[in-house]
């Protein structure tokens, strides 16, 4: 309960983001809600990649930590984040260039396809802000702390819930961006996640290293 309990609240917070986005976008109309639903297979696939990378990082870092190999744990944590960043940039770049043909193959057309493009162009630019913190939080959990990664996840979800309707419907000097506003709110919420996650791995746990190792060491890692 001590380890899993905080993560339950973190996962609920992450799920609530999708539910809140769906609720607000649904108020825009049927076309917008349909467009958002087309994005789910792609966004869930890329998010699953992040979760898988996080699970791998957690596994190797926790074993190095348990073996009292602090230097090895730092090396593995640093390289896990680097690997995650490289992979997600590669996937996001391909996804960004393939938005129209990909979603046309999934069945989107006309105005719905245009709305999907408005959302996904921002989402693909933002996705590194989600993948890297997922891996970073997994590394922090690997050294035995599940509370603060959950705090970061909940803070991100609350930020998303608070600002997403502002960008979707407009408020004061902020114009209404429609479905694109949902992606903008998500981007800002993920930025909060990045700041929180890096605060944990860099300053609190000090689990990253700035030293570039020999090629053989890097390849093995």
Give the DSSP H/E element, type plus range, for residue 134: helix 128-142
The model's pLDDT over 182-200, given as tens digits with 9 standing for 90+, comes to: 999 989 998 988 999 989 9
- Residue 145 tokens read as 């702390």
Phi-psi region for residue 211, left (φ > 0), alpha (ψ -120 to 50) or beta?
A: beta
pLDDT band with cut points at 50, 70 and 90 for residue 145: confident
Backbone dihedral angles phi then psi of residue 180, each to the nearest 5 degrees: -60, -30
The model's pLDDT over 154-165, given as tens digits with 9 standing for 90+, comes to: 888 889 889 999
Which residue carries 């903008």 as its tokens?
184
What is the pTM (predicted TM-score) of this model? 0.88
The model's pLDDT over 78-105, given as tens digits with 9 standing for 90+, comes to: 999 999 999 999 999 999 999 999 999 9
pLDDT at 28: 93
Report how far residue 182's alpha carbon sits from residue 185's, in angstroms, rounded to the nearest whole number. 5
Q: Please check the confidence at residue 77 and state whether its pLDDT lies above 90.
A: yes
Q: Please list the residues that pair with 174 across neighbouring strands.
A: 171
Are 120 and 39 spatial neighbours (Cβ–Cβ below 8 Å)? yes
Domain-wise residue ranges, the chain: 4-220
The mean predicted confidence, pLDDT, of the chain is 90
pLDDT at 27: 93
């Amino acid at each position: 309960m001590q380890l899993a309990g905080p993560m339950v609240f973190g996962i609920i917070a992450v799920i609530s983001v999708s539910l809140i986005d769906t609720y607000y976008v649904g108020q825009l109309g049927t076309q917008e809600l349909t467009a958002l639903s087309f994005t789910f297979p792609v966004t869930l696939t890329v998010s699953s990649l992040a979760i898988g990378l996080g699970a791998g990082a957690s596994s190797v870092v926790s074993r190095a930590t348990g073996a009292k190999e602090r230097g090895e744990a730092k090396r593995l944590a640093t390289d896990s984040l680097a690997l995650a960043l490289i992979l997600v940039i590669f996937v996001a770049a391909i996804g960004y260039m393939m938005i129209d043909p990909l979603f046309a193959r999934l069945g989107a057309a006309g105005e719905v396809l245009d709305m999907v493009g408005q959302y996904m162009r921002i989402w693909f630019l933002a996705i590194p802000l989600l993948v890297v913190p997922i891996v970073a939080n997994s590394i922090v959990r690997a050294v035995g702390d599940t509370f603060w990664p959950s705090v970061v996840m909940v803070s991100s979800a609350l930020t998303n819930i608070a600002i997403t309707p502002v960008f979707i419907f407009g408020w004061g000097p902020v114009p209404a961006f429609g479905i694109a506003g949902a992606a903008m709110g998500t981007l800002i919420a993920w930025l909060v996640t990045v700041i929180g996650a890096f605060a944990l791995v860099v300053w609190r746990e000090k689990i990253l290293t700035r030293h570039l190792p020999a090629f053989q060491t890097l390849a093995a890692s």
